[in-house]
Structure formats: C-alpha cells, structure tokens
Amino acid sequence: MRNIIGHETAQQQFWDSCKSGKMAQSWIFLGPKGIGKSTFAKHAVRELLAGTISAKAVEIAASKPTMLFAEEAAPAPITPDSIHHPDHPIYRKVELGTHPDLLIIDTKVKEGEKKKNELGVDAIREVPNFLRLAAAEGSWRIVVIDDAEMMNKNAANALLKILEEPPPKSLIILIASTLGYFPPTIRSRCRVLKFTALPDDALRGYMRENFPAVHRPEDQSFYIQFAAGSLGNLKLLIEAEALSLYAEIKRMLEYMQARKTEWPRVHMLAEKCDANPEVAQMIFNRLCETAIRPVSMTQPDSAREIMLRLKTPSGWLDYYDQMQDLVGKQQFLYLDGKQTWLNVMAKMAA
C-alpha cells in the first residue's frame, strides 16, 4: 500500500472542495513529473468510487494530511484505509483500470507498440459518452487523463465540449507537468491543484524505508540532487543504478577534457544510455544545469569544473538546446537510440 508523501496543502484544498458540497468537476493536477500527482489522483478516485467521502472523513484527513481515511462503505463495513490496500477490490480495479465507472487515458503503450508522442482525438472522443452513462457501481463517473499536456489541438477541442457542460456527478482530472500546452479555454474551465517539489528530508526518509542499500550519505545526496524533489525520479534513478552511469559519464568528460577520448568506451556508454534514456537525459540535463548556473546556485560538483574547461556556460546552454533537439527528434521520429546518444556525446567535445 502506497501512502501519500507530502503535498499536504494540495490534499487539503481538494478535500475542502469535496466538503463544501460545490466540488469543481474539472481539475488540473499540476507539477513536475513523478512528484505524486497520479498517486493522489488514484487515492481520490478510490475514495469517490467507494462513496467514503464525507465531512467527517475530510476532517480526519485534515488532521492527518499524509493519509486518506474512509468511513463505512456498502455493502460491508471497511476499515479506515482498506480501500487503499492492494487486496481491496476497488484498489485492484483502479490500478488495472477496470472499474466500470472509471476511464483512464494516458500515453502508455502495450508491449510491441510504438511510443505515443501525443494524445489524439480518438482517445478523447470516448470521454463524453462515458460520462453521460449512469454510474454502474456508485454515484460518480470519473475520467483521469494522464500526460494531458500531450493532447493535440483536435483532442483539446473535443475535451472542451464536455468541460463546458459536464454531466452531474462526473469528474475529470487532467494530470500535467506544465500548463503551457493547454489552450486558455481549457485552463479557464478547470481548477488547478499545484503539487510542488518534495523536501530533501522526505526523499531521504523514503530511501531509508524502501532502499536501505543506499545508506552512504554521499550516495543519498547524489540521488536527492538528481531527483529534484520527485519521488518518481528518485525511484527510477535508484533502480537504474544511475550513480554508476553518472560515474561513467563523468569519466568520459575527464577523457574529453584531456583530449584522450576513447571512442570504443563512448560506444559502450551510448548503449547504456539507450537502455535507460529517461535516466540518461536526467543526468545530462542536471550536468548542463550545473555548468550553466552560477556556482552560488548549484550544489558542489566536481563535474562542473571539468565541464567548464570544455565549454563556457553559454556554450553549455547552446549544447543543452542541441541535446534536447537530438533526443526529441529520436523520440518523435523513432530514430536509432544508440546513434542519438553518440551524437549527444560527440557534441560535448565539439
């Protein structure tokens, strides 16, 4: 069972809206990727589908904001947080996306399918018909759209129609990392719930509980720095052994600085980056940020000194734009991943 870590203010704003009896029917859960927006959305969905939202439940949640509590739900009494336990039927249905009163739309793909670069109109067209049906098991019909900022123009227009006149007892939750891609007409019809970066202490506590093998203070500091307040990033970095990948990238920079680039080693490193592209991009992004920002705004990092021998801060800013362009084209056009990372690293020495 996953509890919510942090985000007390965002939680309380949502539950206060429920308690008011005038709950907004369209929400944008906004914040950096991996920060806990989807986790809270699933908590909220389970509470609503179970019918356990009440003034009393909200008051309890207010007193202990890191947990969501529930009262009794038909047909049988349930303990306060049992709907958030993996063995509970509602929990399983929400996780699997099989609850008849819940529609989940995202960019995830099945094995063998190409990665989606946008959410198209076909997926969004399901929403109006779904919300207009009577609830099968409770009183709510709920739509959750993850990566909602990836909707194309036609998809956004299709969604706008149902946002303008949502059916009674319907709820739409858009999960996004930026508002910039939403048209103003959608932003104006949704209540924005902001999720901010988690404090270092919260990430450190999560590591102690879930990754006891990461016990050295310097290793913990590395993961906290690169996770940038995101629990999802932290988990991804640790499971991918990003510290080892970072050490190899740093070693490559040292060779480049000494004009002794070993290209066979670079080829091996490109393969590792291609195997974990999201982690690799996080590391390269963070390295660029370290080189670009004034030293007073960054944590001490020996890689910064090496990088500034290769390029000036403005040079690294140009490189950052080039890297984003290369990686973006690879993802959008399905280009060869290893070759993309070879190009990314070659431009470091250029």
Q: Residues 181, 259: one domain? A: no
Does a structural domain hold residue 203?
no
pLDDT at 264 over 80: yes
What is the C-alpha separation between 61 and 80, in angstroms, rounded? 11
Q: Which pLDDT value is given to residue 67?
A: 35
Q: Which pLDDT value is given to residue 319?
A: 95
321-340: average pLDDT:
92
**pTM given for the model:** 0.80
Q: Which pLDDT value is given to residue 263?
A: 85
Q: How confident is the model at residue 332 (pLDDT cuts 50, 70, 90)?
A: confident
Does a structural domain hold residue 305?
yes
pLDDT at 344 over 90: yes
Q: Residues 119, 183: one domain? A: yes
What does the DSSP 8-state code read for residue 94? Answer: H
Does a structural domain hold residue 199?
no
Tens of pLDDT, residues 268-277? 999 999 999 9
pLDDT at 194 over 90: yes
Q: Residues 167, 304: one domain? A: no
Q: Residues 130, 270: one domain? A: no
Q: Residues 25, 118: one domain? A: yes
Within 13 Å of residue 324, how many CA atoms lie on the same side as its CB? 9
Tens of pLDDT, residues 226-261? 999 999 999 999 999 999 999 999 999 998 888 887
Q: Residues 162, 297: one domain? A: no
Q: How confident is the model at residue 63 (pLDDT cuts 50, 70, 90)?
A: very low
What is the C-alpha separation between 295 and 90, in angstroms, rounded? 50
Structural domains of the chain, count: 2
Q: Which residue among 137, 171, 194 closes a domain?
A: 194
- Which residue pairs, CB below 8 angstroms and at least 24 apart, start in 314-321? 316/288, 316/291, 316/292, 317/288, 317/292, 319/288, 319/347, 319/348, 320/285, 320/288, 320/292
Amino acid identity of 161? Answer: K
CA 240 to chain centroid, in Å, comes to: 17
pLDDT at 21 over 70: yes
214-222: average pLDDT:
93
Q: Residues 186, 89: one domain? A: yes
Q: Which residue among 172, 194, 216 closes a domain?
A: 194
Which position has the higher pLDDT, 139 or 342?
A: 342
Does a structural domain hold residue 201?
no
Q: Which pLDDT value is given to residue 174?
A: 98
Does a structural domain hold residue 235?
no
Q: Residues 190, 256: one domain? A: no
DSSP string of 252-269, one letter each residue: HHHHHHTT---HHHHHHH
Structural domain of residue 81, as residue ranges?
8-194
Does a structural domain hold residue 175?
yes
> Which CATH number covers residue 125?
3.40.50.300
96-105: average pLDDT:
94
Tens of pLDDT, residues 287-327? 999 899 876 555 656 788 889 999 999 999 999 999 999 99
Q: Residues 160, 259: one domain? A: no
Instruction: Please write down the HEC assignment for all residues of 165-225.
Output: CCCCCEEEEEEECCCCCCCHHHHCCCEEEECCCCCHHHHHHHHHHHCCCCCCHHHHHHHHH
What is the C-alpha separation between 184 and 180, in angstroms, rounded? 9
Distances (CA, A) of 272 to 267, 328, 333: 9, 18, 21
Does a structural domain hold residue 340?
yes
Q: Which pLDDT value is given to residue 298?
A: 55
Average pLDDT, the chain: 85
Q: Which residue among 130, 160, 194 closes a domain?
A: 194
Q: What percent of the chain has pLDDT over 90?
A: 61
Nearest to 346 by CA among 318, 309, 317, 319: 319
67-89: average pLDDT:
54
Q: Residues 33, 170: one domain? A: yes
Q: How confident is the model at residue 112 (pLDDT cuts 50, 70, 90)?
A: low
Which residues are CB-contacts of 162 (< 8 A; sequence separation ≥ 6)?
127, 128, 131, 172
Tens of pLDDT, residues 151-180? 999 999 999 999 999 999 999 999 999 998
Surface-to-core class of residue 184, CB atoms within 10 Å of its CB (0-12 exposed, 13-18 middle, 19+ buried): exposed
Q: Residues 181, 58: one domain? A: yes
pLDDT at 75 over 80: no
pLDDT at 72 over 50: no
pLDDT at 78 over 50: no
Does a structural domain hold residue 229?
no
What is the C-alpha separation between 85 and 93, in angstroms, rounded? 12
- Top mean pLDDT of 17-21, 74-78, 95-99 is at 95-99
What is the C-alpha separation between 247 and 255, in angstroms, rounded? 12
Which position has the higher pLDDT, 350 or 326?
A: 326
Q: How confident is the model at residue 109 (pLDDT cuts 50, 70, 90)?
A: low
Q: Residues 41, 127: one domain? A: yes
CB-CB contact of 173 with 142 (8 Å): yes
